[in-house]
């Protein structure tokens, strides 16, 4: 009797120990994932707070330290330099203009098309859907030479060129996601609006649009981020117009105030400066973004 009891105690002990080890393993995994996700950005912040001699220190330190004494010493000079860098400030302005215009145009035009595809019946709907879906996969590089030739021939400035050409990847995506949102909206609502004497356009503006506002925010945000991120067209179109460079191009071609090779302290400061607002934006809307990405990718 006593032996059985002892064995049982032993057994529960072992189970408990096993549970503890699983818990520890689990948390180790979580910490590893967190390091994997965040370390490069931490490294950028770390480097951005170092002076030129500190950046040259070998081995590199994991927090900014004084080369002589080894004490922690932080500098903000890279940030001041980045703020004084006219190309960089200009790039932020350019990117804002381009991304905001792209978002607004894509949403306006896209919601028209999305409404037609999601709620109206017409001949050729199925081919239109196929067309839009295939356009979401269209490789930009395929039209690079063609667009660039047009821009050079007609002397179109870089900023309008970017705004128009970014429709290539924002518009099909916007239409596709909005179509699926419109499809989900109840039809009864529209019909009762008609009974009340609303024209189709009125019901679109007064009933559908307010209902789809959340979808518009999500797709708009995704279009905005895609437009800020775009690099191939921006780099090509600003080749002969450096003043129109956007953030990615400016960061890629970053040069210091003194001509020298790649001032990484300043580059990292600029990188941190443009990343923080984006991260804040993304965190505020995180639920919506995940929903939008899933709708864009999983909706087949």
Partner 1 sequence: MCLYTEPEDLKLAVAAPEKLKPQRQSQLAKGEQKLAYWLLVPTLVVLLAIAFYPLGSVFYSSLTSERFASAADAEFIGLQNYSELLSLTITELPAQVDEATGEVVVDPDTGETQYESPVQVLPREPRRYSEVFTFGWFGSQYVLGASDADFILSIIDTLIFTVATIVLEAIIGLGIALTLNVPFRGRGAMRAAMLVPWAILTAVSSRIWEWMFIDTRAGFFNVVFQKLGLSDGQTPFLADESFQLPAAIIIDVWKTTPFMALLLLAGLALIPSELYEAAEVDGASKWSQFKSVTLPLLKPTLAVALVFRTLDALRVFDLFQIVFAQKKYSMASFAYYELIDSQRLGYSSAASVVIFVMITIFAFIYIKSLGIASD
For 239-261, b where at least 16 C-beta lie within 10 A, e where not — what string? Answer: eeeeebbbbbbbbeebebeeeee
> Tokens 């792209």 correspond to what residue?
102
- Contact region for partner 1 (CB under 8 A) — 10-18, 78-86, 96-104, 184-192? 184-192
Nearer to partner 1 (CB atom), residue 172 or residue 220: 172
Asked if residues 120 and 182 have their Cβ atoms less than 8 Å apart, the reply is no
Measured CA to CA, the distance from residue 16 to residue 173 in angstroms comes to 51
Nearer to partner 1 (CB atom), residue 74 or residue 278: 278
Which of positions 216-235 make contact with partner 1 (CB under 8 A)?
Answer: 225, 228-229, 231-232, 235
- Contact region for partner 1 (CB under 8 A) — 3-11, 13-21, 193-201, 212-220? 193-201
- Cβ of residue 214: shortest distance to partner 1, in angstroms? 17
Locate all alpha helices (DSSP H) within 120-186, ordered by sequence.
125-135, 144-154, 158-165, 167-184
Any residues with CB less than 8 A from the CB of 159 and at least 6 apart, and which? 94, 97, 98, 244
- Cβ of residue 6: shortest distance to partner 1, in angstroms? 28
Nearer to partner 1 (CB atom), residue 90 or residue 119: 119
Which of positions 69-98 make contact with partner 1 (CB under 8 A)?
Answer: none
Site mask, partner 1, residues 125-144, x = CB under 8 A? xx-xxxxxxxx-xxxxxxxx
Asked if residues 131 and 256 have their Cβ atoms less than 8 Å apart, the reply is no
Q: Does 21 bind partner 1 (CB under 8 A)?
A: no
Instruction: List % helix, strand, coil for the chain (3-state, nearest 5).
Output: 80, 0, 20
Which of positions 149-178 make contact with partner 1 (CB under 8 A)?
Answer: 149-150, 152, 164-165, 167-168, 171-172, 175
Q: Does 252 bind partner 1 (CB under 8 A)?
A: yes
- Contact region for partner 1 (CB under 8 A) — 2-10, 41-49, 79-87, 96-104? 41-49
């Amino acid at each position: 009797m006593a032996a059985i009891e002892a064995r049982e105690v032993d057994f529960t002990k072992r189970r408990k120990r096993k549970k503890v080890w699983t818990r520890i393993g689990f948390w180790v995994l979580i910490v590893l994932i967190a390091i994997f996700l965040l370390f490069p950005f931490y490294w950028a912040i770390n480097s951005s707070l170092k002076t030129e001699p500190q950046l040259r220190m070998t081995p590199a330190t994991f927090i900014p330290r004084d080369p002589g004494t080894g004490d922690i010493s932080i500098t903000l000079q890279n940030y001041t330099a980045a703020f004084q860098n006219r190309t960089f400030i200009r790039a932020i302005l350019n990117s804002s203009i381009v991304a905001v215009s792209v978002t607004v145009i894509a949403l306006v035009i896209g919601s028209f098309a999305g409404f037609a595809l999601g709620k109206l019946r017409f001949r050729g709907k199925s081919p239109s859907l196929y067309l839009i879906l295939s356009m979401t996969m269209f490789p930009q590089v395929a039209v690079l030479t063609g667009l660039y030739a047009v821009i050079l021939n007609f002397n179109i400035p870089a900023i309008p060129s970017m705004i128009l050409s970014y429709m290539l990847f924002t518009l099909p995506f916007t239409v596709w996601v909005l179509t699926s949102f419109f499809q989900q909206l109840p039809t009864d609502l529209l019909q009762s609006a008609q009974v009340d004497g609303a024209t189709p356009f009125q019901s679109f503006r007064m009933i559908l649009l307010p209902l789809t506002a959340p979808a518009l925010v999500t797709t708009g945000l995704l279009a905005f981020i895609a437009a800020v991120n775009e690099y191939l067209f921006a780099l090509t179109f600003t080749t002969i117009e450096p003043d129109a460079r956007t953030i990615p191009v400016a960061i890629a071609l970053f040069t210091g105030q003194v001509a020298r090779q790649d001032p990484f302290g300043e580059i990292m400061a600029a990188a941190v400066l443009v990343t923080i607002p984006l991260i804040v934006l993304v965190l505020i809307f995180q639920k919506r973004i995940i929903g939008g990405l899933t709708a864009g990718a999983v909706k087949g």
